[in-house]
Structure 1
Amino acid sequence: MTAQLDVVVPEADEHVCPLPHIPEAVSVVRRRVRTVLADWNLTPDLAEDALLVISELITNAVVHALPPAVLRLSRGGAGGRSALRVEVTDAGPAAANRGAGADPPPDEQRRGVYTLPPPSAECGPLVPPRGTTCWAELLAA
């Protein structure tokens, strides 16, 4: 099965991509995002770090969350340094394989987001009124 992506590009410094809720989502989105990052002229190190973070966040959304999910990239910078913000928003934790009202195991509560960024990054979860957003901000070295 090949995933088809409808991409919304609100402005030049932002890229929004709905995520197919299938295991192949990571490779499909990585290919598309690699092109976006190249078009944005990010440093190779920042682009590779971003692809790693994006892969982990998408995997977490596909494996541990309910659809729909969306990837949002935005670029900026301050003081001559490039910065990239990565956000994956999903419909909230999937309750499969858990009893009603059971809390997820501690190692799944954050879905791995705190272990993925390089030292030049910040990350965390946001809990909007509906769903979950995991984000990371990466700075070029």
Structure 2
Amino acid sequence: MYAAFRSQPAGGFGTRTDQTAVRAGQPARPPAVHPAQEHDADDVVTFLAHRAGSAGAARRTAREALVRWGVEEEARENVLLIVSELVTNAVEHAQPPAVLRLRQEPGPSCRRVWVGVSDGGPAAVEGAWSGSCEDDEHGRGLVIVDALSEACGVREDAAGTTTRWARMDCG
């Protein structure tokens, strides 16, 4: 059984620290990241450059994994949108490094995909894109993540790393 919180629109996605994304008998955190790109049958870890093009690179990496895992097209497109929104959030609003983690998990009746994007914590100033547009032109990314995911949340550790994550049923 998974325990996780869903963000509430009034409080926002990033208002709580999540410590509850656990399955009985398993650690709350994904496996440690090593200083290289990792791929195995069920996990992908990729370090991303801290720049605008990182969302596209992350989508390409995620698409390869999702195709390899046999995720159907509609679910794959939703996961790719989540990846894009979480990476864009990290690049625009946080300090480097940005790390994408994808994990295929067995669910109670289907396969699940867990997506996490870690960053170095809040940036002192917003990214170039955020400062170049009107308020109503941005700020919807985490609302989209919340709408598309089965569960989502934020986890912060003592070292200042923030991970925004989402979990989806993928059939």
Q: In terms of mean alpha carbon deviation, does 119-128 or 83-92 score higher? A: 119-128
Give the AA of the match of 1:27.
G
Matched, 1:94 2:127: no
CA distance in 2, matches of 1:64, 1:83: 28
- Cα deviation, 1:72-97, whole Å, max 9, x if unaligned, reads 00011223311000000100000126
Partner Cα separation in structure 2 for residue 57 and residue 124 of structure 1: 11
Runs of at least 4 residues off by over 3 Å:
117-120
2:78–2:148 Cα contact (<8 Å) kept: no
In structure 2, the CA distance between the partners of 1:111 and 1:7, relative to structure 1 (3 Å rule), is farther
Q: Pairwise CA RMSD of aligned residues?
A: 2.0
How many residue pairs get aligned? The number is: 123
**1:120/1:23 Cα in 2 relative to 1: closer, same or farther (>3 Å)?**
closer
Matched, 1:29 2:63: no
Distance, in Å, in 2 between the alignment partners of 1:16 and 1:53 is: 16
Is the partner of 1:96 in helix, strand or coil?
Answer: coil
Q: How does 1:28-67 map to 2 (within 5 A)?
A: 28-67=57-96
**Whole-Å Cα distance in 1 between the matches of residues 53 and 165 of structure 2?**
21
Q: Please, what TM-score do these two structures have when normalized by structure 2? A: 0.65
The 2-side partners of 1:140 and 1:37 are apart by 10
Q: Percent of aligned positions with the same letter in both sequences?
A: 37
